[in-house]
Amino acid sequence: MPLASIPSPSEGVWHLGFIPIRAYALCFIVGIAFGVWLSQRRWRARGGEEGAITDIAVPGVVFGLIGARLYHVITDWQLYFGPRAIKEPYQALFIWEGGMSIWGAVALGGVGVWLACRRRGLSVSAVADTVAPGIAFGQAIARWGNWFNQELYGSPTTLPWGLEIDQAHGGQPGVLYHPTFLYESLWNVALGFALIYAGRRFTLRHGRLFALYVAGYTLGRFWIEGLRIDPVGGVDHAVMFLDLRINQWTSIVLLAGALVYFWVTRHKDTEEIVVPASPEQPAARGS
Q: How far apart are CA 197 and CA 151, in angstroms?
A: 32
Q: Is 119 annotated as a binding residue?
A: no
Across the beta sheet with 163-164, the strand order is 156-157, 176-177, 163-164
Q: Are 169 and 85 in contact (CB under 8 A)?
A: no
Sign of CA dihedral 94, 98, 103, 107: positive
- Partners of residue 170 on adjacent β-strands: none
Predicted TM-score (pTM) of the model is: 0.88
User: From first to last of its 287 residues, what are the pLDDT tens digits of the chain?
Assistant: 455 788 998 888 888 887 888 898 899 999 999 999 999 999 999 999 999 999 999 999 999 989 888 888 877 777 787 777 767 777 777 776 667 788 788 889 999 999 999 999 999 999 999 999 999 999 999 999 999 988 888 999 999 899 999 888 788 888 999 999 999 999 999 999 999 999 999 989 999 999 999 999 999 999 998 898 876 655 555 667 788 888 899 899 999 999 999 999 999 988 899 887 665 555 555 55
Q: Are 68 and 100 in contact (CB under 8 A)?
A: yes
Q: Which of 128, 117, 146 is nearest to 213 (CA)?
A: 128
Query: DSSP character for 178?
Result: -
Contacts of 285 (CB under 8 A, 6+ apart): 271, 272, 273, 274
Task: Transcribe 119-135 into DSSP letters.
Answer: HHT--HHHHHHHHHHHH
